[in-house]
A = this chain, B = another copy of it.
Amino acid sequence: MFSVKDADEVKNLLQENFSGYDMGHEKVALKDSLSRITAKDIIVSEDIPGFNRSTVDGFAVHAKDTFGASEALPAILRLLPEIKIGAEVKSNLSYGHAAYVPTGGQLPQDADAMVMIEHTDDLGDGFIYVNKSVSPGNNVIYKGDDAKAGSVIIKANTLLKPKDIGAFAAAGVSSVLVKKRIKAGIISTGDEIADIDETLNGAKVRDVNSYTLYAGLLELGTQPYMYGIVPDSYDEIRKVTDRALQECDIVLISGGSSVGTYDMTCKVIDSFGKPGIFVHGIAMKPGKPTIIAKVRDKAIFGLPGHPVSAYFIFKVFVSHTFKVLNGLNHEFKASIKAYTAFNFPSNDGREEYVPVRLEETERKILAHPVFAKSGLITTLTEASGYIKISRGAEGVVAGQEVEVLPF
């Protein structure tokens, strides 16, 4: 009934199912808006700058008065009182006159250029001697040059970076309408799972997925909630999932590692009705046994129990869902250019993700695949990132250039 899908198909399905999601919005103070996502276009209500502003320390002039000026034949202009930084200037500048303006200060109303102080002489006789001509607009930022009142300064659906926050500050935007943080519920299932501070009784392993996913969700800018560890019981898993669906926008269930638990997660998700499960296995290594569903307009992921698999599915598909839900625009992915130090065959028709340790050598960065018999999460501590081997490729050969995506 279900066939395993490749990564691109899965991303298209996520787009189809979850674009246009409305998580609501809220107003936050500018200081608190880092990494939040704008809910609408933000419009400037004032010209930036609000006055004609000097970019140098020097003299405001009519450019015309300086035409032809040279060291040998300076233009001689009558000196007016100095203009102080921050002071509003309402007066005009008559032809044949000049006034000192510091960097950032306002020019007199009809002055059209600034002469840098280095190109003038002040002999103390009430005149300033200009040794170099300037053109209209030289060393001046005109009112509204940077942004005009009424123009859009940042578009909707923008993930805010420090530079954007700076632009808001310049425009006097002191609070920003942003999308509410995506609420993400994390459920760990499995009779063999123990919490991090429990004494281990029996053949138990600790709950890794709740913590890795929690941290990953924080990094994405969501609001994560841990629903704890649920035993392998249909009723218990269904009850907790039901609650998480009510409280969150997206729910991540990390399955036990055995086939039985996987089947139970499927049944629970199925029980919430249409449209239900639309991905049932992804052609990706690690991470194949993954379920994705849409239930009550929300996203549910059934993640593999294996921590490394669960984390790669998170990095590739949960983070993509975050972008889709938020309507974020295309993002350019940064990577580290490195050269593989090993041959690494990969030819089973699945997209493969290989964690790598990086080594800086004199000439280039070498990537060493992190192999691990167990593939458990502790082996990732030494990895700086991972490479992706696409479905068609037959692996990588030693010395090949690769793009390492940072963890």
Contact = CB atoms under 8 A, between A and B. Distances in A.
A373 interface: yes
Interface stretch (A122-130, A158-166, A268-276, A291-299): A158-166
Given A196-B174, A218-B34, A305 B162 contact: no
A31 to B, nearest CB: 6
A358 interface: yes
Contact of A212 (B162, B202, B226, B377): B162
What class of interface size applies to chain A in its complex with B?
Answer: 35 or more
A141 B218 contact: no
A1 interface: no
Nearest to A331: B384
Contact of A191 (B85, B88, B205, B332): B85
Nearest to A314: B162
A399 interface: no
A381 B164 contact: yes
Interface string A270-290: 000000000000000000000
A78 interface: no
A13 interface: no
Nearest to A209: B166
A311 B162 contact: yes
A203 interface: yes
Interface string A41-57: 00000101111010101
A208 B215 CA distance: 31
Interface string A365-376: 100000001101
* Number of identical monomers bound together in the oligomeric complex: 2
A105 B192 CA distance: 8
B380 A332 contact: no
Given A162-B311, A203-B53, A258 B103 contact: yes
Contact of A89 (B153, B190, B200, B203): B203
B103 A257 contact: yes
Interface stretch (A17-25, A244-252, A333-341): A333-341
A64 interface: no
A227 interface: no
A239 to B, nearest CB: 20
Contact of A165 (B35, B48, B211, B261): B211
A154 interface: yes
A185 interface: no
6 contacts: A48-B378, A103-B305, A105-B203, A146-B378, A166-B211, A170-B376
9 tightest Cβ-Cβ pairs between the two chains A and B: A106-B203, A166-B212, A86-B192, A102-B258, A162-B215, A334-B334, A169-B211, A104-B257, A86-B191
